[in-house]
Amino acid sequence: MRLGRWRADLHVHTCLSPCAEDEMTPPAIVARAREAGLDLLAVCDHNASDNAEAVMAAGRRVGLAVLPGIEIATREEVHILGLFDRPGDLRRVQEHVDAYLDGANDPAVFGRQVIVDETGAVRGECDRLLIGACDLDLDAVVGLIRAHGGCAVASHIDREAFGLIGHLGFIPDVALDALEVSPRLTVEEARRTLALGSGFELIRSSDAHRLEEIGRVATVFELAAPTVAELRQAFQRRDGRRVVG
């Protein structure tokens, strides 16, 4: 199978995340992604996934590949990205997270959590406290993602807030697929300053909460197709698939 290069931003929020701008609607996100020269996007809202399929549909209109995902806050308050090929698998993960997520959102304090369709029209608002942590530990969250066919990636590991190393001080022995570095560091700087070695593949993503942040950093992959199955092979450096940089 022929391999190609895909410029990807695998950590983008929508207006469903309480800390994201209301302008982060599906058509605006995919238009900005195209402007930024992206080929592949992943939607990863905080503890929620209601807008993922809408962004996927908007992406299809402009020829942009979009993966459904989620950013889960663990009991330890570490953020983990879950990336999926099938929305149904993500929905099952979401149902499990919902069972361990307590509290109601206060829009005046934390921001609105807006559910939209592929055109950006408002369908409603999520009333759960998405900004908080669910009552699942790190090992359980990673296991949940992988049990449903997803890739588990530790978010912005270099950040003190909600980052694996910044928050815990080390990388525990869990079955992560890759580690994500925030835009403030290059991969080379992260390996050097965090003493990561070569055991994990590192990616860079924008963690965009505003339109102008989409694609500010990205990761280039060599893949046969823009799928999680292919990303997993790239993380494992198998069959020619790889993280280019």
Low-confidence winner among 45-54, 170-179, 215-224, 226-235 (lowest mean pLDDT): 170-179
Work out the mean pLDDT of the chain and round it to a whole number. Answer: 95
- What is the CA angle 218-202-138, rounded to 5? 110
Name the nearest CA neighbour of 71 among 133, 137, 146.
Answer: 133
Lowest mean pLDDT among 80-84, 159-163, 168-172: 168-172
Residue type, 41: L
**What does the pLDDT read at residue 194?**
84
Q: In this predicted model, what pLDDT tens digit does every residue of 1-44 receive, in sequence order? A: 799 999 999 999 999 999 999 999 999 999 999 999 999 999 99
pLDDT (average), residues 51-76: 98
Tokens of 25: 């609607």
pLDDT beyond 80 at 112: yes
pTM of the predicted model as reported, rounded to 2 decimal places: 0.96
The residue type of 188 is: E
- What does the DSSP assignment read for 24-40? --HHHHHHHHHHTT-SE
Give the per-residue pLDDT at 22.
96
For 4-243, CATH gives 3.20.20.140
> Which tokens in the block code for residue 178?
């890759």
**First CA to last CA distance, the chain:** 22
Would you place residue 90 in the very low, low, confident or very high pLDDT band (cuts 50, 70, 90)?
A: very high
CA dihedral 85, 89, 91, 93 (to 10 degrees): -110
Q: What's the chain's length in residues?
A: 245
HSE-CB for 201 with a 13 A CA cutoff: 22
Confidence at residue 197, expressed as pLDDT on a 0 to 100 scale: 64
| Whole-number pLDDT of residue 198 | 66
> Do residues 186 and 196 touch, judged by C-beta distance below 8 A?
no
Q: What percent of the chain has pLDDT over 70?
A: 99
On the 0-12 / 13-18 / 19+ scale of CB atoms within 10 A, 5 is exposed
Best CA proximity match to 69, nearest among 223, 205, 241: 205
Mean predicted confidence (pLDDT) in 165-177: 86
CA distances in angstroms from 154 to 26, 51, 55, 63, listed in the order given:
25, 21, 23, 28
pLDDT digit string (tens) for 174-210? 999 999 999 999 988 988 888 776 678 999 999 999 9
pLDDT for res 108:
94
Tell me the HSE value of 163 on the side-chain side, using a 13 A CA sphere.
17
What is the residue extent of each domain of the chain?
A: 4-243
pLDDT at residue 89, rounded to an integer: 98
pLDDT in tens, 142-151: 999 999 999 9
Please name the residues in contact with 125: beta carbons below 8 A apart, sequence gap of 6 or more. 107, 112, 113, 114, 115
3-state secondary structure of 169: coil
